[in-house]
Amino acid sequence: MKRVAKWCFLGGCAFLGGLVASFCAAELPRLAHAQFTSDRFRPVSNGVVERNRFEIVAERTSPAVVYIEATKLAEAPSKRGGRKRDIEESGSGVIIRGQGSYRYLVLTNNHVIADAEPEQITIHLADGRLFRPARIWADPESDVAVLHLDAANVPTAPLGNSDGVRVGEWVLAIGSPFGLNQTVTHGIISARERGQISLGSTIRIKDFLQTDAAINPGSSGGPLINMAGEVIGINTAIASNNGSNSGVAFSIPINLVKRVMKDLLEKGTVTRGYLGVQLAPTFEASDAFKLGLNRVQGALVDIVYPNTPAADAGLRAQDVILRVNDTDVRNENHLINMISRFYAGQRIRLQVWRDRRQITLYAVVGDWQKGQDRLRSQP
């Protein structure tokens, strides 16, 4: 199997290569669950999606997709002089209806607007209007950013339920690849719960939807949309040898975005649970056989830190965590994602493989940030 050479963020575009536009009309498959709430969108008949479903979804959701430009100060000095230079970052976003005093919000990626102040960010609406964000919230660990759009009479896109997304489901991706605003591409959900990709040291929460919809640099922050016209993901990265689309792209599930957004708006930061273990970066067939398992499953514990929830629960190095409550653990990234969704103080049940047999332990989840502060303060 040929390995992908590079994982690429989708923000930032400084060139326009040779682009070929093409259109291929195809009969859409059966998607009986696709429904619209508005009268103008006719319901599905006999389980078959209308031939113009793509056009309907694109027409409805494209006006809510924005182009974002951010001017940042480069970390390194310019080669021509001794001072730092400004760099331009570009990406996409989608407008959603907010809550309380925040009537409209824009969802995007943190890496699109990171290190930029509100006065350095320009939000281009589909109708040509320009805005600065009134406020910015960001979570580097999930690469989610939320911008307050202080505007009136702007279109919004509804949020869907990413937990219900199925492999093979048709989707649209809308964004600004290579600076080409309001670009619409289509594809399917290729896989779910992808976490074995490297996207930088700050991004710890990785639980992506994979799609083959054409996504290119400049699409970061744009929405992934189902055939009901709902946002089910925020496009984040591509797997590519040359930085352009190769049919493997990744989106943050919208349910994860919702959880992050809720914490950011209510508390200004995201609270996450933790156990206090270091997991083995690889867990292969040879490791499973050595431990007496007949398949590679769960997450292998490498280190248990003292005075942590894991230590209090009785976890040990070389334990394999197989299940959390009623959910089987697929790998280390899956475990990290599951634990991070719990709040401090929640009691969870762990099914653990130890000494060639399965045991049950109980742990009280701790606060991630407090745990990190405690670990850093230890000699």
At 225-275, the pLDDT tens digits run 999 999 999 998 776 666 656 678 889 999 999 999 999 999 998 889 999
| CB of 184 closer than 8 Å to CB of 58 | yes
- The residue among 128, 148, 168 that closes a domain is 148
For residue 349, the number of C-alpha atoms closer than 13 Å in the C-beta half-sphere is: 8
At 92-113, the pLDDT tens digits run 999 999 988 899 999 999 999 9
- 62, 219, 220, 251: the active-site residue: 220
- The residue among 267, 282, 302 that closes a domain is 267
Residue 143 appears among annotated catalytic residues: yes
Residues 123 and 164 in one domain: no
Q: Per-residue pLDDT for 119 more than 90? A: yes
- 62, 90, 92, 111: the active-site residue: 111
Integer Cα distance of 89 and 221 in angstroms = 12
Integer Cα distance of 285 and 170 in angstroms = 35
Does 240 fall in a domain? yes
In sequence order, which residues have a C-beta less than 8 Å from that of residue 98 and are 6 or more positions away?
Answer: 104, 105, 148, 265
Does 2 fall in a domain? no
Residues 57 and 169 in one domain: yes
Does 1 fall in a domain? no
Does 330 fall in a domain? yes
Tokens 């430009």 belong to residue: 69
Considering only CA atoms, which of 4, 44, 26, 102 is closest in space to residue 228? 44
Q: Which domain holds residue 125?
A: 66-148
Q: Per-residue pLDDT for 130 more than 60? A: yes
The pTM assigned to this predicted structure is: 0.77
Q: Per-residue pLDDT for 65 more than 90? A: yes
Looking at the 3D structure of the chain, how many domains does it have?
3
Residue 220 appears among annotated catalytic residues: yes
Confidence class for position 11, pLDDT limits 50, 70, 90: low
Q: Which amino acid belongs to residue 196?
A: Q
- 139, 143, 207, 212: the active-site residue: 143
239, two tokens: 């797997």
CATH code at position 351: 2.30.42.10
Residues 170 and 277 in one domain: no
Integer Cα distance of 143 and 150 in angstroms = 23
At 296-350, the pLDDT tens digits run 989 999 999 999 999 999 999 999 999 999 999 988 888 988 898 898 999 999 9
pLDDT value at position 44?
A: 43
Residue 276 burial class via C-beta count within 10 angstroms: exposed 0-12, middle 13-18, buried 19 and up:
buried
Residues 47 and 28 in one domain: yes
Residue 124 appears among annotated catalytic residues: no
Residues 231 and 340 in one domain: no
CATH code at position 247: 2.40.10.10
- The residue among 267, 283, 315 that closes a domain is 267
At 363-375, the pLDDT tens digits run 999 998 887 777 6
Residues 243 and 181 in one domain: yes
Residues 279 and 222 in one domain: no
Residues 295 and 339 in one domain: yes
